[in-house]
Amino acid sequence: MKEKHGNPFAGIAKFLIALGLMMLVAKLDLLRIGDIPEYFTWQMLLIFFGIWSLINLELVSAVILFAIGFWFLMPEMTVQLSETYEKIYWPVVLVLAGVAFMLKPITKKFN
């Protein structure tokens, strides 16, 4: 069993940080999707949990959740990505997931 040390409110703090970042993206329309209700979709939920995983230093799940959410969100964005970008998207995601697996022992030291 894992002993808990440190701030007992760290989980709540991480959740609020992730939620605040997502609300900031929605309010400023940084992804150029449109109005705020259009940001609350299942794709953005995947991206939210990807950010949550990143804050919790769970790099592998962060890369995978963010990549899947962003992939399905791209057609709805007004800024369309080039064909070259679409060709290299999944290979780059696989490379990032591999790097995240390599960094996993390092991030365990911080948990």
How high is the pLDDT of residue 110? 65
Domain count for the chain, please give it: 1
- Whether residue 41 is contained in a domain is answered as yes
- Whether residue 47 is contained in a domain is answered as yes
- Report the run of H or E that residue 12 belongs to, with start and end: helix 10-28
How far is it, in rounded angstroms, from Cα 40 to Cα 37? 5
How far is it, in rounded angstroms, from Cα 83 to Cα 48? 26
Q: Give percent above pLDDT 70 in the chain.
A: 91
Report the chain's mean pLDDT, rounded to a whole number.
Answer: 83
Residue-number span of the structural domain to which 43 is assigned:
10-108
- Whether residue 2 is contained in a domain is answered as no
- Whether residue 3 is contained in a domain is answered as no
How far is it, in rounded angstroms, from Cα 80 to Cα 106? 36
pLDDT tens for each residue of 61-100: 999 999 999 888 888 777 777 888 878 888 999 999 888 8
Token readout for 80 is: 């369309």
